[in-house]
Amino acid sequence: MLRFSGSGCSDVGRVRPHNEDSAFLGPYVALVADGVGGAAAGEIASATAAYSASAVALGRTGGRPEAVLAEAYAAAAAGVRLGVQRDLDRLGMATTLTMVVTDGTHVALGHVGDSRAYLLRQGVLRQISRDHTYVQHLVDTGQLSPEARSTHPWRNVVLRSVDGDPEGAGVDVTRLEVSPGDRLMVCSDGLTDLVDDGRIAEVLASAEPDEAAAELTRMALDAGGRDNITVLVLDLVDGPRVVGDGKLYGALADPYNVVDPAAVHLPRVS
């Protein structure tokens, strides 16, 4: 039975006054949410979305991953929407959400925003999420080279996020072709804006998950740490089912940041 075995780090960085990233890591679900920069209450948005999405996934362990991700995204958006309704000073708050789920046989990725997911296989690193940013749009339409993404002044302009809009574009869901021995990394742009894919690949290929997450965080801090940095490193393992809720990182670790946990209600399954 497939599951995730790994570790993570979340660091405020060297510039931001507080951590607006949230992350969750469990044996069958892992996610990173990054409160969109410049918006109100980013830590509330990311923690609420991360809590809502992970609660759904934990309540649906063994469910078809694509369906779980769609339901998790809907719960995350509803949580953010409720947060705004409870306090209009939060108007405009939003978050990215990048999430992997397994039912023990298949793995799927749900993604919206500019946090990222990568797959490392036999030493080769490949980005498996697509940035929902203006700069990525320029690349896709041939107006900008991929190499220029990291230095473009508008690289952090996010076109899609979890913002509570009931008419929003939704989440991209992709079934992943993975096998035991593969390694996944889910991270916020506080890492990828400052550390290139080549250096990330070297670390992921040569260290255990806890050491890799810590080293990648250190590298982003040494490069300036201008944003919050969150990194989850997950090995795909095949083994007996394990029991465990998971670990909380960043803003999610503070219950004060989560809007009304009781708002997540799972329908009865007969």
Starting from the edge strand earliest in sequence, which strands make up the sheet with 229-238, in order?
A: 2-11, 229-238, 183-187, 116-121, 124-127
Q: Residue 262's CB: how many other CB atoms inside 10 A?
A: 5
Bridging pattern class, strands 247-250 and 21-25? antiparallel
pTM to 2 decimal places: 0.93
Backbone angles phi, psi at 176, to 5 degrees: -100, 140
Contacts 24+ apart (CB under 8 A), 213-222: 213/6, 213/7, 213/8, 213/9, 214/9, 216/9, 216/187, 216/191, 217/9, 217/11, 217/191, 219/194, 219/195, 220/11, 220/13, 220/190, 220/191, 220/194, 220/195, 221/11, 221/13, 221/14
CATH number of 2-255: 3.60.40.10
Closest Cα to residue 34, out of 56, 49, 15?
A: 49
Closest Cα to residue 203, out of 94, 120, 132?
A: 120
Q: What is the mean pLDDT of each run of 10 residues along the chain (270 residues)?
A: 97 95 98 84 96 96 96 95 91 95 98 97 96 84 76 80 85 97 97 95 97 98 97 96 91 93 59
Mention every residue, 6+ apart, whose C-beta is less than 8 A from residue 219. 194, 195, 199, 203
Q: Residue 226's CB: how many other CB atoms inside 10 A?
A: 15
Q: Could you tell me how many residues make up the chain? A: 270
- Domain boundaries, given as residue ranges, for the chain: 2-255
Rounded Cα–Cα distance for residues 150 and 141 (Å): 17
Confidence (pLDDT) at 270: 42
Confidence (pLDDT) at 154: 73
Q: Residue 166's CB: how many other CB atoms inside 10 A?
A: 8
Rounded Cα–Cα distance for residues 99 and 117 (Å): 8
User: What are the beta bridge partners of residue 73?
Assistant: none
User: What are the beta bridge partners of residue 174?
Assistant: 109
Q: Where are the alpha helices (DSSP H) in 23-64?
A: 42-59
In this structure, are residues 158 and 133 in contact, taking their beta carbons and an 8 Å threshold? yes
CA dihedral 129, 135, 139, 140 (to 10 degrees): 60
Q: Please give the structure tokens belonging to residue 3.
A: 């599951």
